[in-house]
Amino acid sequence: MEEKKSFEEAVRTILTIIGEDPDREGLLKTPQRVYKAFLHLTQGYHQDPKEILGEALFSSTNDEMVLVRDIEFYSLCEHHLLPIIGRAHVAYIPDGKVVGLSKIPRMVEVFARRLQIQEQMTEQIADALMETVNPKGVAVVLQARHMCMEMRGVEKICSTTVSSALRGVFKENLKTREEFFSLVTSPQPNRF
């Protein structure tokens, strides 16, 4: 496990550079913990979102919007390696096939568990769904807080970034687009 050893040594070096003692009691296992955390936080590099979606495609006559909203996600900013914390809203209009509902959050997670910028992640989710399910259209909205803006830099803790990606009928048809945005912004119904 040369890779693991190199990673842990890099963490020890970082700790030393910032003025810490990597041999003090509280930091002795930090390099191993950081290594395991980064394996988890970047596991999306080893997963194929199209494969996940393709595992649960079913024939259907439904041709109305399917929306999975408020999908929580955590990612890492590729510029600073700081957290991005947000929610994804993903909709599509079937064209002969529907995808198992749990596969949409799983697909979001694959892209979130990579170093990201929010704009690119929004596009990646829309494109994967469009290419794998072949629906009449796809709409994706991500709303997120970026710790690179809150913990450093401009330090604006109440800012939220919203990005969207529209494909097919969501881009072409104003009424479909308006219905999507209305559903995404409507108050959350009471939980069952």
Q: According to the model, what pLDDT value does residue 181 have?
A: 97
Q: Does 192 map to a domain?
A: no
How do residues 47-77 score in pLDDT, each as one tens digit? 999 999 999 999 999 999 999 999 999 999 9
Closest CA to 126 of 74, 169, 190, 76: 169
Could you tell me the CATH number of the domain that includes residue 143?
Answer: 3.30.1130.10
Domain count across the chain: 2
The residues that are catalytic are 77-80, 118, 146, 148
Number of residues that this document lists for the chain? 192
Q: Does 136 map to a domain?
A: yes
Could you tell me the CATH number of the domain that includes residue 8?
Answer: 1.10.286.10
Q: According to the model, what pLDDT value does residue 97 have?
A: 97
How many angstroms separate the first and last alpha carbons of the chain?
48
114: domain range?
56-185
In this structure, are 136 and 175 located in the same domain?
A: yes
In this structure, are 18 and 97 located in the same domain?
A: no
pLDDT interval class at 123 (50, 70, 90): very high
Q: Does 181 map to a domain?
A: yes
Q: Does 47 map to a domain?
A: no
pLDDT interval class at 191 (50, 70, 90): low
Rounded to two decimals, the pTM is 0.93
Q: According to the model, what pLDDT value does residue 155 have?
A: 87
Q: Does 120 map to a domain?
A: yes
In this structure, are 98 and 157 located in the same domain?
A: yes
Residue 189 in this model has a pLDDT that exceeds 80: no
Mean pLDDT value across residues 136-157: 93
In the chain, the largest separation of any two C-alpha atoms, in whole Å, equals: 63
**Helix, strand and coil in the chain, % to nearest 5:** 45, 25, 30
Residue 124: how many CA atoms within 13 Å on its side-chain side? 20
Q: According to the model, what pLDDT value does residue 154 have?
A: 87
In this structure, are 24 and 68 located in the same domain?
A: no
pLDDT interval class at 15 (50, 70, 90): very high
Q: Does 190 map to a domain?
A: no
